[in-house]
Amino acid sequence: MKRNLVNFTRGSQLLGHFGFMFASGLKAPLIIAAILLLGMCYWQVTSGLTDHQRYLAGMNLYASLYGFMEFDPTKPVNLDLAGGASTEMAISTVQNFPPVVRAMEALWTALRTALAISVLLFLPAFILFYWVAEYFGGRSKESKHERGAQLATLPQLQAEITRHNASEQVREMRAELGRRWRLAGQHGLDAAGYYTPSAITGVRYPWRLEQSHAMLIGTTGTGKTVALLEMIDEARRKGQRAVIFDLTGAFIEHFYDPSRDVILNPLDARCPQWSVFNDCSTIAEFHSAAEAIVPQDGGGDDQFWVIGARSVFVQSCMQLMKAGTPTNEALANKLITADLTDVHKLLKGTVAEQLTAPKAARMATSIRAVLNANAEALMLLPKHGPHFSIRDWVQGECERGGIIFISARYVDMSICSKLLTLWMDTAMNTLMSMSRTSDLRVWFMIDELGALHRLPALEKGLQTARNFGGAIVTGIHAFAKLKEVYGENMAMTLSSLARTKLILATADRETATWCSDFIGHRQIRDMEEGYSYGYNNARDAVSLTPRRQIEPLLLPDQFMNLPRLNGYIKFPDGFPAAPVKLVPQSWPSLAEGFIARAFDEPDELYKPRAPSKEPLPSSKSEGTAKNSHSGEEEPAADSDDNDEGVKQSAADQKEFAFREPEEITDVQLSDEPQDKILKGNTADPATDGPIKSLGKDEQAPSPSPEDDKQQRSDLPDPSDPANKARSLSGLPRDAGRDLREGAVRDEPDRDIGEYDM
């Protein structure tokens, strides 16, 4: 009840206050209207009636007042006539006297005319007064932009860009062709190959800002592909080349031309024969390829296995080139599917030799497991067909308007993603190795950036590709996916380097807030309205207080609630943001989006690999040993057998061959620390002895317990009390190591670092 009374009091005071204020606002117009009406009436009466008519109208008014006061109705009055004569009649009959009736009709006609003229004059004046008062009232509370970003309508943005492009074209053409450039006309300049800005969502780029790169942001089904289709169509018509990542096959379906386009998809029948050796010839180029094949997603700190796998890949490729076998088959046979001993022989004398040493077999196996998991897609490449080089294509050995479609279906991305990343990375790196130019050479269009692994060249390309004629257009669904692939800091860097933004509907608040920051903030001067009221009307007032504040130009919720195919475009160089609406077009279907390739072998794609038989750091020999006296072969200790002679199961072998990298610690590398291996130092001959592989005709004697003890003389003799004491004194440290490894401590006469599987 108390709350209702307070509300009633507040409401009644405010209603009364607003009523008085409204009446005060109408006071001046009403006074002016009254003065105008009286003036018009006086003018019409004096100019429209004769003196006698005015006299008769006055007598009528006198008789009406006399009758209203109910005086004697028979009182005689003398009424002057028009000819100068007069007549006497009762005052009650004056109103019905015909000359008086005619005079009153003339009076009312004059008054109506005066009222009509007053309305015709006053009404427009009052409307003008109301508009001026309303305009100033609105302006008094309107937020005033002081500085920061601005939002414009699409026609305003297009007009501003048109003026800017015209002035820039005059400046550039005058510098190249002189004042006579206007005689050629725009069509002549286009035919001569002079620059004309491209468009995005129907809006022309500001002069030469395509190479400032663009980022299309929006969740699925909002229109990113619609915008890219329009850009590809324009690039094709202008004869510009493009490298396009097509995850859905939509771009291939609508634009693929077999005479000048290339499809890079290891599972597509139209994919040419490509090899990493076609585009890499120096160690620096192989390093760039290794960064793409073995990604460092997320920018984590523990990257030992990634760096090791890259080093093994680079050095293997260099060795194959020296051997004269730079082919995919040689890379698969000598590195991916070869035994560890063969890999070590291949890398002998290189910086990666210690990473594949048999003495550190577990570490070597883990490094190669990381490499194989990422480089497996190289084995899917076609072995027949025309050879293709991305480097040659980017450098100009292609048809005008040619396109490279880097494609894969969603179901194939798990096995093809590294290869697609390598191709896109190679194209960008090749462009940045060419001469500088201000003309646009190649478009790079990536519909879904999050579908690819980390692109090392993208980080550099967004910074420097503009100097070499590269324009990059990327599309992302959510900022979280970009952070997952590139890490938070690099994701912010990439988004800031793509300066043109097309922002469509977003699905999460983080991305919407991110987009709101892209559009920008502004500082405004706002007016706050306050009310004061009291018992005395003198205290009633309305106050306006100015206040400055910084606010986002567009709220995150505005992006989250955008309808599909609607968004905002933001160009760099101070151009305002503007709303845009995309209009889908019907594109003709020119080709199949995907045609499955028939593999050379029926089970090539999913052929199982034999269990790895790589040697452990043990004294037991591998394979079969030849008898030096008889020349006959006799079975040696099987490499799959453990110390008790029990053959390991296939499951155990598989578990060892694909051991996770975290299981390899310094305990297994007790003979040679990891730091020593990473630095590329060789083993100490004084302690480890020389490492050499058995020749073809050399003999490998069967191991015996005595030979084992002689070969491992560095182990303490358990029968020696001193050695036993030293062994016991070191027990806590070794036990701690064993607990960390989850292994059982070996007997003293067994190999260090070798445990039962």
Q: 563 or 417: which carries more pLDDT confidence?
A: 563
CA distances from 747 to 138, 281, 691, 754, 755 (A): 93, 51, 25, 10, 10
Three-state SS for 58?
helix
pLDDT for 498 equals 94
* Radius of gyration for the chain, computed over Cα atoms and rounded to the nearest angstrom: 46
Q: To 5 degrees, how large is the angle CA 645–CA 646–CA 650?
A: 135
* Half-sphere exposure of residue 236: CA atoms within 13 angstroms, side-chain side: 16
For the ranges 296-305, 325-334, 705-714, the maximum mean pLDDT occurs at 325-334
Residue 746 parent element (H or E): none
Q: What are 123-160's pLDDT values in tens digits?
A: 999 999 989 888 888 777 777 888 888 999 999 999 99
| Strand pairing report for 86-90 and 76-80 | antiparallel
Where in the sequence of the chain do the CATH 3.40.50.300 domains occur?
A: 208-272+385-524+553-593
CATH class of the region 208-272+385-524+553-593: alpha beta
CA distances from 733 to 123, 513, 670, 729, 745 (A): 103, 53, 13, 9, 12
pLDDT for 454 equals 81
Please, are residues 123 and 29 in contact by the beta-carbon 8 Å criterion?
no
Q: Give the chain's length.
A: 757
pLDDT for 533 equals 66
d(CA 377, CA 387): 18
pLDDT for 302 equals 55
The burial class, CB within 10 Å (0-12 / 13-18 / 19+), for 528 is: exposed
pLDDT for 536 equals 64
pLDDT for 190 equals 66
Residue 242 parent element (H or E): strand 241-246
Three-state SS for 248?
coil
Q: What are 375-386's pLDDT values in tens digits?
A: 888 888 998 889
Please, are residues 615 and 605 in contact by the beta-carbon 8 Å criterion?
no
d(CA 172, CA 327): 49
Out of 14-23, 234-243, 457-466, 630-639, pick the least confident.
630-639
Global pTM value:
0.66
Out of 366-375, 534-543, 618-627, pick the least confident.
618-627
pLDDT category at 618 given cuts 50, 70, 90 is: very low
For the ranges 258-262, 448-452, 622-626, the maximum mean pLDDT occurs at 258-262
d(CA 501, CA 539): 53
Please, are residues 511 and 478 in contact by the beta-carbon 8 Å criterion?
yes
Q: Please give the mean pLDDT across all residues of the chain.
A: 78
pLDDT category at 415 given cuts 50, 70, 90 is: confident
Q: What are 197-233's pLDDT values in tens digits?
A: 999 999 999 999 999 999 999 999 899 999 999 999 9
CA torsion 157-161-163-165 (nearest 10°) is -170
Q: What are 693-733's pLDDT values in tens digits?
A: 333 334 444 444 444 434 444 444 444 433 433 333 333 33
